Structure 1
Amino acid sequence: MASIDNESIIKSVPQKGFFGHPRGLFTLFFTEFWERFSYYGMRAILLYYLYTETVNGGLGFDKGTAVAIMSIYGSLVYMSGIIGGWLADRLFGTANTVFYGGILIMFGHIVLAFPGSATAFFISMALIIIGTGLLKPNVSSVVGDLYTKEDPRRDSGFSIFVMGINLGALIAPLIVGTLGQEYSYHLGFGTAAVGMLLGLIVFALTRKKNLGLAGSNVPNPLSKKAALGTGIGLIIVIIAAIIAIQTGILNIERFINLVSILGILIPIAYFIVMFTSKKATKTEKSRLAAYIPLFIAAMMFWAIQEQGATILALYADERTKLSLGGLELQSSWFQSLNPLFVVIFAPIYAWLWMKLGKRQPSTPVKFAIGIILAGLSFVIMIFPAMQGKDALVSPLWLVLSFLLVVLGEMCVSPVGLSVTTKLAPAAFSAQTMSLWFLTNASAQAINAKVSVFFGKVSDSAYFGTIGLVSIILGGILLLLSPVIKRAMKGVL
């Protein structure tokens, strides 16, 4: 298939129709809104479903295993994005890959919507992991196709798109969480499936008219021979996995260990390949070296942030007063705090960096501030822990913890995306962006091993140790920031 140039794509997209933006932004905004509604709605009740006793509608896993499964699930979601990007580049194009991913996600939620065994649960997780890997990285790429690189609306368009992500994530725990915890987990999962169905309907009905050729390009198509070989290889892997599961060679504990190891080895392999490549210049390798401490800092940040859906979710369910000012709360509602604070503070941070201009902190300093704030979000949980394990604490402690980690997230997440594009070697630009998303995958792979200590040690020891490690790492990064900045070779 001949490559489609950017000019042809832009001409095929109606350039007005959604708040002054290309009409295709409407399609992608609501597709991602409903996909995030389904994802975060399901995730808000998934942990509770895993460890609730079977007689009460759950799967009856012990809590340590349930938390580890959640962490591994999150890790695999981010790892699968590598597969999604490859399939879009080599086979389907980004728009088709988004649609196929949405279908897999919907079927994954449908499987969860019906009472079933642990086997059915793992099938549903496989569908959702693969589907999210297909959809998540590619829908953002299609947004980029709507604009020329010089279009002044481009950054604003991405900001509107990100708002759709966070609005979906904000309302999902309130709706799906309430249905799941008040009535039935399967009703909640079914609602998540409906959300993804709505996203697919929006995409299918408006794609042709609104997106034009956006997302249709296959820049590096596979030959028929290579496609056949890839298909055969995939079938062999699936058969091997089924045999390993059926014979007991691959059980839950070994799978968790395998993913945890891969979470460390895959990024190391990425760095080694880029450092040893002759395609990377001396300057690019210096920038890549500067990227390593930022990568480690990001891993530390996500290791804390992602525990909001596991350890803090468990804390909300078992050790928090679920009432405030006469309002009865659901433990799943706390999962709406992160996107709520993102919606509030993202514009403020964007304004602040613009206001400071050249006086704003360097990227290493921003990362240091981010992981120090993340560490503080755990350190402050020492104070409610002092009341003892049997005492129910005020929900405001969790609100404060989520607030601090989001303040840190504003210094790490958008800044990390931006600096990754700047520090990436030209020959490895796409791979380096995949490496950025692996910061989250690696963090959650590590969490699968670390989070098992929650409940085995005191809450003060758990939150305090992880929080202090993050603060100390932030302090080290501050001290090293001049060295890192020099190695970045002019990148701010």
Structure 2
Amino acid sequence: MATVSEGGAAPIRGGVPAHAKMFLGHPRGLFMLFFVEMWERFSFYGMRAILVLYLTKHFLLGEQPAYATYGAYTSLVYITPIIGGYLADKYLGARKAVFAGAIFITLGHLLLALVEGPQGVQGATLSGFHAGLGLIIIGTGFLKGNISVLVGGLYPRDDLRRDGAFSIFYMGINTGAFVGPLIVGALGETVGWAWGFGAAGIGMALGLVVFTLFQRELHGVGEPPAPARLTARTNLGVSTEWLIYLGATAAVLVSWWLVGNQGVVGTMLIVASVVTIGYILMTSFRDLGREDRHRIFAALFLIALCPLFWALFEQTGSSLNIYTDQRVDRSLFGLAIPASVFQSVNPFFIITLAPIFGALWIKLARRGLEPSAPFKFGIGLILIGAGFFVLTWGAPTEGLTPAIIIILLYACHSMAELCFSPVGLSSMTRLSVGSMTGLMMGTWFLSTAAGNFIAGLIAQATGGEGAGPEQVLEVYGRIGWFAIGVGVVVLVIAPFVAKLMHLGTLGDTDDHVLAGERELAEPAAPGPHPELTRKG
């Protein structure tokens, strides 16, 4: 279907039909996806805020085993989108994938709320808890990457509204991430763990209801690429679609086992990374023209920086969470603030700072000075490292660390995220060809999975039980310096990577055009294509 990009350009392919109803200049489907993602992030970040605390305070696991479980779980919720993206690209379509994912996640959170047993009792109770995590892992694989694909599918590839759309969408992410720890964390730590996990489940259920009732606003975006193939009967007597769902159910058992086996997860990440990157490169050289191939290379460069960034950023839910619980003065007017509530500081800064960053990028773009995506990534790495120096500088040698120091750390990390995550989400949908969008989005989350796995290793390196604050701060200082050094290198080479993006010709061909089909594409009117910024 054709639409017209802002500025009166000739009709170009992609996006919702021209007659689709708009709200604030955007298709109404964007705001439906906003609410779905908001409730999904409410459940995810709310549960994540109490996960390590639950493992150490309820099951009485040691800090290092708890970090290992946390690292394996958070890695798996980002590695499964590579499979979910592939299944959506080839069979289900993004819409069915998101719907299935929401069901799995809802069931997982509700199971977590139901399996709480007596304090210190592990055995079957802990096994049931891992099963709940397995459901969430598989559900996230279907939902996480594909809902971003749906956002991108609402717009043509070179539509100038895409940046604003992803900014609105990212606000939904951070609204859920802000409210989730406040409600889930407060209920879990003060009322009862089951209350916290139950609230997370209700949040995802609300997202599922919103998607079910209003998915018509997608106007066909995200439909199965080959409906006949999806409904075809397999040798097992069920359709291809139901075979996928049955396979996903079996994969829950695999995820349940992997949550307790961090080493196996690490091996899986290495194998999955090699196979996925190899497949992308092979496809790029075999099927894509020169410019599209260069764009894939630029996207892979951005992806390669993800593990370092998220390894440092994701200390939030593990070692920084425990540090806040044990070594931060959390008293306010005589009341102790639950440690999990501090998980809302980062999304609070995202929500408040995103409009400032968005206005800054727009102002710079109008002057032709907006930084490229690689340059923004370099800034993000420097800021993430600087956040740890705030803590190492402000933590006293004796006594508790003032809460303001942790808040300032999260302020630096939030500014880093504004330079990194939304830019990356936008770049994956913009730089990849239509037939590989789900795969590239999945690969983005695969690299995020690697970062989460490394985050678990860093958390374990802080020492666990018996380690003094000196050892924790020493680890933070080292990783801070390393991130800053890498960030400086990225700033230097960013102009060369930006040239590979070929932004000036991004709208000249259809999203799905491959090398052998390029002469059949309808050219779009040329024009400037400012760098995507996702944040707000």
Cα distance, 1:386 vs structure 2: 4.7
Q: Which residue of 2 is the match for residue 49 of structure 1?
A: 54
Map of 1:464 onto structure 2: 477
Residue of 243, 266, 273 corresponding to 2:272: 266
Q: How many residues align?
A: 475
> Distance in 2 between the 1:201 and 1:193 partners?
13
**1:418-470 alpha-carbon deviations (Å, 9 max, x no partner):** 33345446764442332222221111122232321112560221101111111
**Residue aligning to 1:69:** 69
Q: 1:322 to 1:13 in 2, by over 3 A?
A: farther
Q: Deviations over 1:16-74 (max 9, x none)?
A: 4x44544434433322222221211111111111111xxxxx12221111112112211
Equivalent-residue separation in structure 2 for 1:186 and 1:479 (angstroms): 50
Which residue of the other structure, out of 324, 334, 340, is the alignment partner of 1:332? 340
- 1:67-466 matched pairs, under 5 angstroms: 67-114=67-114, 115-116=116-117, 117-147=125-155, 154-208=162-216, 210-219=217-226, 221-222=229-230, 223-225=232-234, 255-276=261-282, 277-281=285-289, 286-324=294-332, 328-357=336-365, 358-388=368-398, 391-421=399-429, 423-424=431-432, 428-455=436-463, 458-466=471-479
Q: How far apart are 1:177 and its partner, in Å?
A: 0.8
Partner Cα separation in structure 1 for residue 102 and residue 253 of structure 2: 25
After superposition, the Cα gap between the structure-2 partners of 1:159 and 1:450, relative to the gap in structure 1 and judged at 3 Å, is: closer
* Structure 2 residue runs without a partner (length 5+): 4-12, 118-124, 505-530, 532-536
Cα distance in 2 for residues equivalent to 1:380 and 1:141: 36
1:30 to 15, 26, 35: 35
Q: Equivalent residue of 2:377, what SS? A: helix
User: Is contact 1:79–1:441 with CA below 8 Å preserved after alignment?
Assistant: yes
- CA RMSD between the two structures: 3.4
Match of 1:477 in 2: 490
Counterpart of 1:474, as a letter, is: G
- What's the counterpart of residue 55 of structure 1? none
Q: Which amino acid aligns with 2:40?
A: E
Distance 1:243 1:332 in 2: 29
Given that 1:279 and 1:427 are in contact with CA atoms closer than 8 Å, whether structure 2 keeps it comes out as no
Deviation digits for residues 310-352 of structure 1, max 9, x if unmatched? 1111111111111246564111111111111111122211211
What residue in structure 1 maps to residue 7 of structure 2? none
User: Counterpart amino acid of 1:360?
Assistant: E
Gaps of 5+ in 1: 53-57
Query: Structure 2-normalised TM-score?
Result: 0.78
Q: Relative contact order (alpha carbons < 8 A, sep ≥ 6): 1 or 2 greater? A: 2
Residues 19 and 367 (structure 1), Cα distance of their counterparts in 2 relative to 1, 3 Å cut: closer
Distance 2:48 2:255 in 1: 28
Closer/same/farther in 2, CA of residues 29 and 483 from structure 1, 3 Å limit: closer
Q: Deviations over 1:206-264 (max 9, x none)?
A: 445x445444444474453488789879979987996999xxxx6766x2112122223
Q: What's the TM-score, normalizing by structure 1?
A: 0.85
Can you list the C-alpha shifts for 1:122-161, whole angstroms capped at 9, x where unaligned?
Answer: 1100111111222222233334444556766554343333
Superimposed CA distance per residue, residues 91-141 of structure 1 (whole angstroms, 9 cap, x where no aligned partner): 443333322222211111111112241111111001111112222222333
Greater helix share, 1 or 2?
1
Return 227-236 or 324-333, whichever deviates more. Answer: 227-236
**Counterpart amino acid of residue 233 in structure 2:** K
